[in-house]
Structure 1
Amino acid sequence: MTLAMIVAIDEKNGIGKDNDQLAYISADLKRFKGLTTGHTILMGRKTFEALPKGALPKRRNIVITRQANYEAPGAEVVKSIGEALALCSDDQKVFVIGGGEVYKAFLPETDELYLTEIHHAFKGVDVFFPEYKSMGWEETLREGPFTDEKTGLTYNYSNLKRTGKFDCV
């Protein structure tokens, strides 16, 4: 199994504010859909609850939560990272889609990063993507810069592949 993360980050690795993402960039949302459709997606409870229409279609949705008896219509619910990985061990590719705690927990096991790097530092950010740059990555694709017509935000895409395993100490 290839474990991948997909995330939009600002200049300070910010990813969220007030239980929502920082920006809605149409092309980025289309890229997210194109990359994740047909695959398993792993997410935390808050990320699932932030999805406007619930479970994402044409993907296997797995929600990780410590809440007892939590129900997520259209998704499978697990209590731990290990349980999530065991559930999708036969999958070809699995995408971790957030939030901050889930990214941090899975980062040491991640093989690929699909980043949307927004060239802006948002104010009031309260959720961050963990530090990843010193963990041994090779950039395999860089596209952009692009400018979103609706928001005026400039961004680029960067795909990274792990060059070595990271050991949490």
Structure 2
Amino acid sequence: MNFSATMILAFGMSMDAFAASISKGAVLHKPRFREAFRTGLIFGVVEAITPLIGWGIGLLASQYVMEWDHWIAFTLLFVLGARMIYEGLKGREDDAPAIRRHGFWLLVTTAVATSLDAMAVGVGLAFLQVNILHTALAIGFATMLMATVGMMIGRFIGPLLGKRAEILGGLVLIGIGCLILSEHLSGAA
């Protein structure tokens, strides 16, 4: 696979993380670049690891991974999105502190949910003559960049949306989950 194809693959794989990070940035109260970079780093590391896992699985369990990855991603994103919608509808008391940082495990869970398709790509890459380490690093770097930018975009969208940002963010995560599910189900038909 040449450099151009690798970069197209890398940025294509980062789009789910980009959309999710916009919603994460919109929910936070004026996230700083440091928090955006932290989120990008978590998303990038997870996104770089998943194709390596898929590569390792290779032929052994490729049927199993491809049969279930979309259901796992859909379920995780749906639960996370529903939680965000619930929190947005519930609102917060006026004296409650503004959310300035997402928890590590919440970000890891969201990153895993948006990167399960990269594991399936890793399985596919096992059959091609590619340097999996270079490809995984490219995917991870593109995702880190896109998730960091997404958080900063969310910073500006959040104040415009106010309390609806969390509801909209939840809907975006559920939408990504539904898109992943429909792409796999329509591809299976």
When normalised by structure 2's length, the TM-score is 0.23
Bigger relative CO (Cα 8 Å, ≥ 6 apart): 2
When normalised by structure 1's length, the TM-score is 0.25
Which structure has the larger Rg?
2
Q: Which has the higher helix share?
A: 2
Q: Which has the higher strand share?
A: 1
